[in-house]
Structure 1
């Protein structure tokens, strides 16, 4: 069933594009040879607009800088990011504490010459400082 729908949709698209002409209309009782399809009608193509639109919001040297840092003692969520851009060069880093307690830090840079490059650092889980009792026997 889906195949029939696709074929029908393709035929409708071709007919709307003007590749297949519309059937000619003849008086009832006309011979079968006269009931053929008419030739496609040539369509006029509009000339391109002479004046190009100017984008007044275009910035040839975009620049920005942002950062955030989250340290939530209640949930233990610890993450942050900083990034800056000057023209086509972007530099930044982000870090987060993974479920196993390790901190992952990703430093990245992107530019038209070198593309996107990232370096990942992992720091071991923080060791909990506490008192331990040694049993000497």
Structure 2
């Protein structure tokens, strides 16, 4: 009885302190080994992030997509329209074409990659603000060909 009560108290304290266990679906400890990803790792990291985005779009899991974006995410369309992650996700769900990584490169703690879908091309910058968690989140995106 006491171990169960202790476990309950510890979990309650952890959630009240703001600690949320990391979802293993968003993390991959083998993603990179240093604070900064290498050029070789950039392609794989970009493909893994895009695969999660595609899966959530095709499954209509809008609520799960929050973990893929920073709170300050900004998308700038070809016509200059700017939108946050919520609007970007709604547009993505409205046009569920499978997106494929076209090119990727590493830049400090960022991975910048280009994505093709339908007849459009976008550039997305994902960043690892917390390298010890191995989580990359989209920080910026822009339409290149619309």
Report the TM-score when normalising by structure 2: 0.27
Larger radius of gyration: 1
- Point out which structure has higher relative CO (alpha carbons under 8 A, 6+ apart): 2
Q: Compare the two structures and name the one with the higher helix fraction.
A: 2
